Amino acid sequence: MKKKFKMPHLLWLMLGLVVLSCLATYIIPAGKFAVDLNGKILADQFEYLGNQTPISLWQGFCLIKDGLVGASTIIFVVMISGANIHIILETKAIDDFMNWSLHKMKDKNKNILIILLFFLMAYLGGFGGTDALIAVVPIGLLFSKKLKLDPIVALGVTTFATLIGFGTGPAQQATTQMLMGIAPYSSFFTRFAYMNFFIIVGIIMVLSYVKKIQKNPENSLMYSEGWNPNKAENKDNINENELIKETKISWKTFLILIVFFTQYLIIVLYPLLGGDNSKLFNVMIAVLTISSLIIGLLGGMSGDELGKQFGAGLASMAFIGFIIGLAKVISLILNDGNVIHTIVYTLTKPLKFLPESVTNIGIAIIVSILNPLIPSATSKAAILVPIIHPVAETLKLNLNIVIVAFQLGDGFTNLISPLLGWMVGSCVMAEVPFSKWVKWVFPKVIIFMLLSFALIFILTITGWTGRF
């Protein structure tokens, strides 16, 4: 019996890329672009050096320290962001708010219920998305059974919604922005606007399917799997009172949520209100640290418990920080070996005569193809940014639009990725065969991608700068 292919652990993938980068300096002809007095690349002035400047494997591994130091600011921001998210999750403020919201709307009109639940889940994914949100699938199952709808609807109002929010949310690409040399959370309001646009499109998709199976249950993709609205049974003994608890929201919970969302607002508004851009990371780390402490104390944590949870949150992102450092190592190797310019020159030659909008859409397509194989957005950014960034600069692309292309290419194919535990685990929990899920969601992914291309095209031709 043949073993199924399994993607190597991210550590081995990144170390493998370090090795390949070293080998590339022996094989790829060394070359350099000319630069102006400000150090900017002159895209029309490239020449081969005529000799190789290879980086040995030992030299490459010796650059790990330099890579970690070079990426240290980003690493620390990512780690402190991890601590911030971990602490608010530990206070259960988000859980309480969700339970309170769901309990309030559980007896509403069916379509209103689906719309409100979808928005709630999408926002949860957009601002606090992790694979731990698999835990909300039973809520979707309860509602689908109560409304005599199939398990695909259960996934539609939970995992489908959370992944749309996660894939388009304005807070989800901060690491990619930092790797690209752009202020984190820049163009927050534009991203927030298109996140809501995609949420509304997702709601229409789910409501259309609901209408279809209500008209004829045999239209359900789960009908052949034994689902029948007239014979719906609670075989899992899902207790509504356990899942949808009547929760009273305390003033502390509201304060925690206000502090959590206000921190993003402060970070976003700081440069817009005339703050020193060179101090943005200082401000960001200060705001995240202070808000973490306030949230923990409002959540009733003792000093010792808060310190423990802050440390746990930092530790949860330490490996990602190391991976970001390795990504910097790859850049250093390709740069010191004088092959990064050759790679960029080769990649940009066929793109020079294409409209900028087509090039940006091409980036989205490349990322969307790679996404099912490398589901982690941070990992993908670490792997691709060292190549995409210099390509974008050489072609004089708007880096904010490149980030949008990266985000939208990265976001929607999560819904069909067989390697994303969040998606596959949700299907297992809902007892929906993955093939059935892909059959339902694949056309929707295509629609989302086409809408993404249209959005990228519009942002490009209108000269969007990414300021708002």
DSSP string, 351-382: GTTS-HHHHHHHHHHHHHHHTTTS--HHHHHH
158, part of any domain = yes
Does an H or E element contain 297, and which? helix 280-298
Strands 31-35 vs 41-48: parallel, antiparallel or unpaired: antiparallel
Q: Per-residue pLDDT averaged across 428-440, rounded? A: 87
Determine contact, residues 33/45, Cβ cutoff 8 Å: yes
Please, what's the b/e burial string for 230-256 (b: 16 or more CB within 10 A of its CB; e: otherwise)?
eeeeeeeeeeeeebbeebeeeeebeeb
Of 180-184, 195-199, 338-342, least confident by mean pLDDT is 180-184
Q: Is the pLDDT of residue 104 over 90?
A: no
The encoded tokens of residue 141 equal: 């199952």
Confidence of residue 209 (pLDDT cuts 50, 70, 90): very high
Number of domains forming the structure of the chain? 1
Residue 106 has pLDDT above 70, yes or no: no
Residue 203 within any structural domain of the chain: yes
Tell me the pLDDT tens digit for each residue of 15-47.
988 999 999 999 999 998 787 777 666 666 788
In a domain, 402, yes or no: no
Domain for residue 36, yes or no?
no
In a domain, 187, yes or no: yes
Q: Are 158 and 139 in contact (CB under 8 A)?
A: yes
Domain span at 279: 72-225+245-316
The runs of H, that is alpha helices, within 46-185 are 57-62, 64-70, 72-91, 93-105, 110-128, 137-146, 151-156, 159-168, 174-179
Query: Does a structural domain hold residue 146?
Result: yes
The DSSP annotation for 60-94 comes to HHHTHHHHHHHTHHHHHHHHHHHHHHHHHHHHTHH
pLDDT at 22: 95
413: in domain: no
Q: Is residue 172 part of a domain?
A: yes
The pLDDT tens digits of the residues spanning 232-279 come to 554 444 455 555 556 677 888 889 989 988 887 787 777 767 777 678
Structure tokens given for 320: 């990602």
Rounded to the nearest integer, the mean pLDDT of the chain is: 82
Cβ of 189: how many Cβ atoms within 10 Å?
12
The pLDDT value given to residue 174:
75
In which band, very low, low, confident or very high, does the pLDDT at 7 lie, cut at 50, 70 and 90? low
